[in-house]
Amino acid sequence: MKCTIIGAGSWWTALGQVLSENGHETRLFSLFQADADSINQKHENFEYLPWVQLHEKLTCSTNLAQTLDGAEIIVLAVPSKGLTSCLRELKPYYAWQPIILASKGWNAWDFSPLSSLITEKLGAVPIIVLSGASHAEEVVKNQPTKVVLASSNKERREKIKNLFHNKRFKCEESEDIVGVQLMGAFKNIIALACGISDGLKYGTNTKALILTEGIQEISKIGSSLKIKPETRKSSAGIGDLYVTCSSVLSRNRNAGRLLAEGHSKAEITGGLINMVAESLYLTEAIAKFLATTNESFPLLDMIIKIVEYNIPAQKAFDLFLESS
């Protein structure tokens, strides 16, 4: 099958590697010629995964029309902040192919899933969400991984599962397209809080406290969106939460540590971390959400104090402990 992946960075590359190794004709689209040259000439993503030899048939182009020509499947693996512009560029060439949404984030404008943004820009297109515990750096090493494919359409889920699934990259199915996206976005926020705890030199007891409170607060939001309880128990739920909160590879956890050390949101998003920390693009939307609810969200409130209002991390953490 002919597959096109639009995006950048390590995750975009890792998904291309999986599809290529599964025997599919896979083309990557990038805005940067350096990406195309590195992948086409040296079979590596020099900037993000320089130590990985990529599949020889995996190609990359900076010409979107050329990359989409004949594509039967389109994968979107762009940072959430770039999804609107990506869809705008995609629309003139889009031919109603199934879209696999592999971005983890939340629509900051109206506090809605990213899939709703795709529907708004392209219409009622076939969407499958791919999410779960899957650090790209481990996927490209062919380490055992399980993800979730979410769609209300069983036939569509099975078709995409056949694309990705192999003995090392496992895929489970879900009908809960909103719940899978919610968990994928908000586990980054909890990881940010775990990183803040690390930066304040707290130990595993404190991290357990954060995880417990975080799961409770996600569950509150999830209940209002009617997400399925089994979603929280899946790779897209507890699995992804564990990976993001515990791994040294977690960019969101590392962003939290930097916040605790006194760096600002602007400094971190401006280049202190080489890749996008999605949590920092969700905090403004969470601040708006908290202003509209009477329910208590102590952990989210702590994060907003630190990220959006530049309250010192220790002070904000102490206030969290008093209120939780």
Catalytic residue numbers, as ranges: 187
Amino acid, res. 26: T
SS3 199: helix
- Find, among 96, 261, 104, 296, the residue nearest to 181 by Cα: 104
Count CB-CB contacts under 10 A for residue 45. Answer: 28
- Residue 82 near residue 121 (C-beta atoms within 8 A): no
The contacts of residue 36 (CB under 8 Å, 6+ apart) are 30, 60, 61, 62
CA distance 283 to 231: 23
CA distance 163 to 29: 19
DSSP-derived pairing of the beta strands 59-61 and 106-107 = unpaired
The owner of tokens 């209940």 is 223
Maximum separation of any 2 CA atoms in the chain, in Å:
58
* Total residues belonging to the chain: 324
